[in-house]
Amino acid sequence: MDVPTLNIAILAAGRGKRMHSEKPKVLHRLAGKPLLCHVLDTARALSPNKICIIFGHGGEVVRQAIGDPALTWVQQEPQLGTGHALMQALPYLGSEGATLVLYGDVPLTALSTLNRLLTVADGETLGLLTVELADPSGYGRILRNAAGEITAVVEEKDASSSERNIREVSTGIVVIPNRYIHGWLNRLENNNAQKEYYLTDIVALAVKDNVKVVTGQPERVWEISGINSKFQLAELERIYQKECANALLEQGVTLADPSRIDVRGVLTCGRDVEIDIDCIFEGDVHLGDGVKVGAHSILRDVKIAAGSAVAPFSLIESTEIGENCRIGPYARIRPGTRLDNDVHIGNFVEVKNSAIAAGSKANHLSYIGDTVIGKRVNIGAGTITCNYDGANKHQTIIEDDVFVGSDTQLVAPVKVAQGSTIGAGSTITRDTPPETLTLSRARQTSVDGWKRPVKKEKGEK
């Protein structure tokens, strides 16, 4: 890329009527991220001098959702076409360098594709991203003369029957030299079927002004796919997920079914990672060497060290997990949790904002919240740390080598000292001494002669 000063204008003013939603179109999510954020990530990777977003419907909602003060926001009201949209940004576009025009509902244009286009356009020529489609319906057609030079772009509604047979189309993505952009946009007219100012009409103006028009092409056709309906959104979601799955397979990850994985963020994997069907990865997830993730699990902002295994139907969020841990099935690990090496969290166990040291385990039906657990601790089935008093959260501390019997309630704040044993069925409200057995039970009694109630027959008094 050789553009000394690059501005990027993102057209994001469309209503998106076919989405049948109150949400602005560019905020609908692809792979867990708003469409506009995909475009912004690519734009930022080009290191532009300025990024200008032209918004329309739901503009304030869009601005709040994106929340980046470095962006320049310009409103288009009313919406009179793509050329009119870019006109609104003219006060923010200088006279040097070039402006790259992108679209907020075209989320998957590759960075490499845009770099190639910027390279051929070189800041002095008009660069168009074009593509040949088997079915060019809906796109503006590229018109060329006998020498193969581009002479204009004609929108489908204004094209003749012969022009509609042309398969090379304009994607709408263009690189415009800033020395010409003000003059060209101000010369646009709306003498067309839609009574709109078409940005593509600058091609004919460039030809008239003897400015060279060059083209670039994407590596894959779906890079230029725009989204106007939930059907198209779903189609592009599957394309995106297929690309993610293929990349993981190329890296050596074992996927039980490449068509049944969803990556909604960044997933990095070590060697010999295995992922079963219907798993979802959100945010930033790292799986170390030999990690296994069972079917139907959801991992969100998680780091799992080598050799650990997540059994099916587990939900893990904002957690660090050490080596050789065993999680699930049906485990829920909530934000703020840190598990050291060789920790076991079993079925129907919930852990929240807790640190569990090496070799400890909670294998069945327990809740551990706001707790620090030492090494080699056994948490019996049905154990609950009672961390919330109705207003504030309190901490439970369980030191090394503690054995907590089943059906125990630990009422925080409380400390269970090193080597303690808690008898099953106890409610612990005070700190326990080390290396002792602590019990808290009502006295067991048996009532002689007691008879279980008998259900009365219908109508019997």
Structure tokens at 385: 């740390």
Other C-beta atoms closer than 10 Å to the C-beta of 50 total: 18
Report the residue count for the chain.
461
Specify whether 364 is catalytic.
yes
In the numeric block, the tokens 């079915």 are attached to 135
State the Cα torsion 189-193-194-197 to the nearest 10°. Answer: -20
Place of tokens 């796919």: 225
d(CA 127, CA 96): 16
Radius of gyration of the chain from its Cα atoms, rounded to whole angstroms: 31
- How far CA 161 is from CA of 25, 154, 169, 196, 200, in Å, comes to 32, 12, 15, 21, 19
In 3D space, the residue among 38, 53, 2 whose CA is nearest the CA of residue 222 turns out to be 38
**Residues in a beta bridge with 411:** 386
Distance CA 263, CA 279 (A): 9
Q: Which string of DSSP letters, residue by residue, matches 99-162? A: EEEEETT-TT--HHHHHHHHHHHTTTSEEEEEEE-SS-TTSEEEEE-TTS-EEEEE-GGG--HH
Distance CA 214, CA 76 (A): 29
Tokens encoding 303? 């780091």
Contacting residues for 11 by C-beta, under 8 A, at least 6 apart: 54, 82, 85, 86, 101, 102, 103, 104
Whole-angstrom Cα distance, residue 282 to residue 292?
17
Q: How far apart are CA 413 and CA 159, in angstroms?
A: 76
- In sequence order, the 6+-apart residues with CB closer than 8 A to the CB of 202 are 83, 126, 174, 176, 184, 185, 188
The answer to whether 63 and 37 are in contact (CB under 8 A) is no
- Angle between helix axes 35-45 and 59-66 (nearest 10 degrees) is 60
Q: Catalytic positions, please?
A: 364
